[in-house]
């Protein structure tokens, strides 16, 4: 493998513009974290009056946006804070993550503002008039159902759009958002010279010019042909006129977006050789930061929402999941599932049935047997998109289920289980759904390597259930934020690719010394009994049958 050593005494900087905060992680040339920093949008920038970093519009159903300028001001604040902690002159490369799908609309003429930033002033002062839309639609928005339907119809159906762009139309995806803006505010659309994702927007600030959208985050738009890695004419035509010129060309995630702009060299004393590596989405950068790099590697993030992502060389077009070009390779795909009902729904069951205590919740998990005596639950506190179902709880008992065959097994709907079974049913239900949808997506089973992250990964009983349903060892990591640390790791990787003049395998930068870096993971639960894994496969099959029935009866699509 190529020599991938990083220049001695250099630093690599990664950001994460997430929903609620802007985070930063700084790595040294041994890939150890030397500093982290965080700006919370609600508390550090209270004058924007956001709640959880967003505005929930009560006048338009499902509209959720964030003030674009708030991200700019947070960046000013972050750079000032970091300048007191580290020597920016040592930063060899910088990259970043951002919440996926959110979009920024640059007003006609704004490229001039961007390329002539005055180092004596803050960014926020100079970019006040740069946006044709001041409130960026973000991933939580669900106001574009009508546009989703029209786009799917125009390209030949949901599955066809998924085959082409990696996903069926989703309300939060950027294409439907753009179509809605074009339909409802045609003048604003006309007055927009460039549309960025939040990721390419932040990179644009750093290079002082419009940065490309990277191919991985670009696949979260319902616009990119994921095989060709270029904009799909069919999808563009289904979305809005003259769109291609407003998007610019996509670029690989490992590519150099440009040298850091003179603004940052003069104001913050960055080296003029500092490279800006393409920014990407938070989930793709988490994949990089969790050191997933080969087909069969899988991560489960148990956070506010639950996401499951991994690498495969053969994604199957799916109506539930998402496929993106790999953020860490020139071939292969990242596949992802995104559940809206994650920790908050687990908390709801904990509060209703387990005395509001994780200890009691865990005691119930330990008291009940794997497979829960055939009790199966579907718990949606929020409207769910995987599967597309409205809020509601559905409980079934599989009669005659012994785990060795589905012959003669019938499901009976019930109103409630005993408290301990409710707890096991939500955990098993969520994990069985993950396993079923991951397998449907063409991911190898069992996973080659499984890493669990996010707030609930501290719960060992949950990790044990994952190990026994997925039939493999479960690893966890201690780093708090895999998106910004993953971005810093990608900055280092982009630096190496640039130095070598071509793409270098991602793992080259940490291979053979992972334990000595901040990116190591630890074994947290051993693979479960294989006979139980097989029994779970049958339960999963039954669960998928019931899920299909529920979607046919109650689903929106
Ligand atoms: P975010 O997606 O907002 O970054 P986190 O990954 O920080 O969220 O996860 C926060 C969630 O972690 C909380 O909502 C909480 O329900 C969950 N959590 C924390 N500790 C436990 C635990 N011991 N067992 C299960 N869930 C937990
Ligand atoms: C993924 C998604 C979210 C955001 C959160 O499709 O919408 O996970 O990326 O930041």
- Summarize pLDDT for 130-168 with one digit per residue, the tens: 999 999 999 989 899 999 999 999 999 999 999 999 999
pLDDT of 557 higher than 70:
no
Number of domains in the chain: 2
Residues 157 and 245 in one domain: yes
Residues 246 and 349 in one domain: no
Of 22, 248, 256, 263, the closest CA to residue 127 belongs to 263
Residue 370, CB half-sphere, CA atoms under 13 Å: how many? 26
Residues 178 and 267 in one domain: yes
Query: Distance between CA 393 and CA 375 in Å, rounded?
Result: 13
- Render pLDDT for 417-439 as a digit per residue (tens, 0 to 9): 999 999 999 999 999 999 999 99
Residues 240 and 372 in one domain: no
Please list, residue by residue across 335-353, b when 16 or more beta carbons sit within 10 angstroms of its beta carbon and e when fewer do.
bbbbbbbbbebbbbbbeeb
pLDDT score recorded for residue 385: 84
pLDDT of 480 higher than 90:
no
Ligand 1 neighbourhood includes 458 CB (under 6 angstroms): yes
Of 304, 281, 268, the closest CA to residue 75 belongs to 268
Burial class, 359, CB count within 10 angstroms (exposed 0-12 / middle 13-18 / buried 19+): exposed
* Residue where one domain finishes, among candidates 245, 267, 285: 285
Query: Distance between CA 413 and CA 121 in Å, rounded?
Result: 64
Residue 442 pLDDT grade (very low, low, confident, very high; cuts 50, 70, 90): confident
- The answer to whether position 305 is within a domain reads no
* Residue where one domain finishes, among candidates 238, 258, 285: 285
- CATH at 437: 3.30.420.40
- The answer to whether position 134 is within a domain reads yes
**Residue-number span of the structural domain to which 361 is assigned:** 343-443+534-554
Ligand 1 neighbourhood includes 303 CB (under 6 angstroms): yes
Residues 241 and 348 in one domain: no
CB 132 within 8 A of CB 107: yes
CB 215 within 8 A of CB 251: yes
How would DSSP label each residue in 417-461?
--HHHHHHHHHHHHHHHHHHHHHHTT--SS-SEEEEESGGGG-HH
Residues 169 and 60 in one domain: yes
Residue 81 pLDDT grade (very low, low, confident, very high; cuts 50, 70, 90): very high
- Render pLDDT for 249-267 as a digit per residue (tens, 0 to 9): 999 999 999 999 999 999 9
Of 331, 225, 298, 310, the closest CA to residue 450 belongs to 298
Q: How far is the CA of 18 from the centre of ligand 2 (A)?
A: 9
Pocket perturbation via mutation, ligand 2, pick of 101, 102, 300 by most ligand atoms within 8 A of CB: 101
Residues 92 and 206 in one domain: yes
pLDDT of 206 higher than 90:
yes
- The answer to whether position 27 is within a domain reads yes
**Residues 181-199, mean pLDDT to the nearest whole number:** 98
Of 334, 296, 310, 287, the closest CA to residue 486 belongs to 287
**Residues 203-209, mean pLDDT to the nearest whole number:** 98
Residues 216 and 122 in one domain: yes
Residues 53 and 197 in one domain: yes
pLDDT score recorded for residue 532: 96
Q: How far is the CA of 481 from the centre of ligand 1 (A)?
A: 13
With a pLDDT cut of 90, the percent of the chain lying above it is 89
**Residues 397-421, mean pLDDT to the nearest whole number:** 96
Residues 251 and 398 in one domain: no
Q: Closest ligand 1 atom to the C-alpha of 304?
A: 2
* Residue where one domain finishes, among candidates 285, 305, 329: 285
Q: Which two tokens stand for residue 498?
A: 């640039």
pLDDT of 44 higher than 70:
yes
Q: Closest ligand 2 atom to the C-alpha of 305?
A: 8
- The answer to whether position 527 is within a domain reads no
From the CA of 457, the nearest ligand is: 1
Residue carrying the six token digits 């964030």: 66
Q: How far is the CA of 304 from the centre of ligand 2 (A)?
A: 11
Ligand 1 neighbourhood includes 40 CB (under 6 angstroms): no
Query: Distance between CA 304 and CA 343 in Å, rounded?
Result: 5
Residues 385 and 273 in one domain: no
Ligand 1 neighbourhood includes 290 CB (under 6 angstroms): no
pLDDT of 361 higher than 80:
yes
Ligand 2 neighbourhood includes 340 CB (under 6 angstroms): no
Pocket perturbation via mutation, ligand 1, pick of 302, 455, 464 by most ligand atoms within 8 A of CB: 455
CB 347 within 8 A of CB 322: no
pLDDT score recorded for residue 556: 60
- The answer to whether position 429 is within a domain reads yes
Residue 401 pLDDT grade (very low, low, confident, very high; cuts 50, 70, 90): very high
- The answer to whether position 422 is within a domain reads yes
pLDDT of 313 higher than 90:
no
pLDDT of 549 higher than 90:
yes
With a pLDDT cut of 70, the percent of the chain lying above it is 99
Query: Distance between CA 371 and CA 429 in Å, rounded?
Result: 10
- The answer to whether position 318 is within a domain reads no
Residues 77 and 151 in one domain: yes
For the beta carbon of residue 134, count every other beta carbon within 10 angstroms. 13
- The answer to whether position 401 is within a domain reads yes
**SS3 call for 413:** strand
């Amino acid at each position: 493998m190529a020599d991938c050593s990083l220049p001695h005494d250099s630093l690599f900087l990664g950001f994460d513009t997430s929903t609620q905060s802007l985070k930063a992680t700084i790595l040294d040339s041994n890939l150890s974290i030397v500093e982290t920093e965080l700006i919370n949008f609600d508390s550090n920038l209270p004058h924007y009056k956001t709640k959880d970093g967003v505005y929930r519009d009560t006048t338009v159903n499902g509209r959720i946006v964030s003030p674009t300028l708030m991200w700019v001001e947070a960046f000013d604040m972050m750079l000032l804070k970091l300048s007191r902690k580290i020597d920016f002159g040592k930063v060899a490369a910088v990259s970043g993550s951002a919440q996926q799908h959110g979009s920024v609309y640059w007003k006609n003429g704004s490229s001039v503002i961007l390329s002539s930033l005055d180092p004596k002033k803050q960014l926020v002062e100079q970019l006040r008039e740069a946006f044709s839309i001041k409130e960026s639609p973000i991933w939580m928005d669900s106001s574009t159902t009508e546009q989703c339907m029209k786009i799917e119809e125009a390209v030949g159906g949901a599955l066809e759009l998924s085959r082409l762009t990696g996903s069926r139309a989703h309300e939060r995806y950027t294409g439907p958002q753009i179509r809605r803006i074009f339909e409802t505010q045609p003048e604003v659309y006309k007055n927009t010279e460039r549309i960025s994702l939040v990721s390419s927007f932040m990179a644009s600030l750093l290079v002082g010019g419009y940065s490309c959208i990277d191919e991985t985050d670009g696949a979260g738009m319902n616009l990119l042909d994921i095989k060709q890695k270029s904009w799909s004419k069919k999808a563009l035509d289904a979305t809005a006129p003259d769109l291609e010129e407003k998007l610019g060309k996509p670029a690989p995630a490992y590519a150099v977006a440009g040298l850091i702009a003179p603004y940052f060299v003069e104001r913050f004393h960055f080296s003029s050789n500092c490279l800006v590596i393409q920014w990407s989405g938070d989930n793709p950068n988490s994949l990089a930061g969790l050191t997933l790099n080969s087909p069969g590697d899988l991560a489960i993030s148990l956070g506010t929402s639950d996401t499951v992502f991994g690498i495969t060389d053969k994604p199957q077009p799916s109506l539930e999941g998402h496929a993106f070009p790999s953020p860490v390779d020139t071939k292969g795909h990242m596949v992802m599932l995104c559940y809206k009902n994650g920790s908050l729904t687990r908390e709801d069951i904990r509060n209703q049935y387990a005395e509001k205590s994780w200890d009691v919740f865990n005691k119930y998990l330990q008291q009940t047997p794997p497979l829960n005596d055939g009790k199966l639950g579907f718990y949606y506190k929020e409207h769910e998109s995987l599967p597309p179902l409205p809020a509601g709880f559905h409980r079934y008992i599989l009669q005659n289920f012994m785990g060795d065959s589905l012959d003669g097994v019938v499901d009976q709907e019930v109103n409630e289980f005993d408290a301990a079974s409710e707890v096991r049913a939500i955990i098993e239900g969520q994990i069985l759904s993950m396993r079923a949808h991951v397998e449907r997506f063409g991911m190898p089973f069992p996973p080659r390597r499984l890493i669990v992250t996010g707030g609930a990964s501290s719960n060992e009983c949950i990790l044990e259930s994952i190990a026994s349903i997925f039939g493999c060892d479960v690893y966890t990591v201690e780093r708090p934020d895999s998106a910004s640390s993953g971005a810093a790791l990608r900055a280092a990787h982009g630096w190496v690719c640039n130095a070598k003049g071509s793409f270098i395998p991602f793992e080259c930068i940490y291979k053979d010394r992972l334990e000595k870096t901040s990116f190591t993971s630890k074994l947290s639960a051993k693979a479960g009994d294989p006979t139980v894994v097989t029994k779970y496969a049958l339960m999963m099959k039954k669960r998928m049958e019931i899920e299909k029935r529920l979607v046919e009866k109650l689903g929106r699509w």
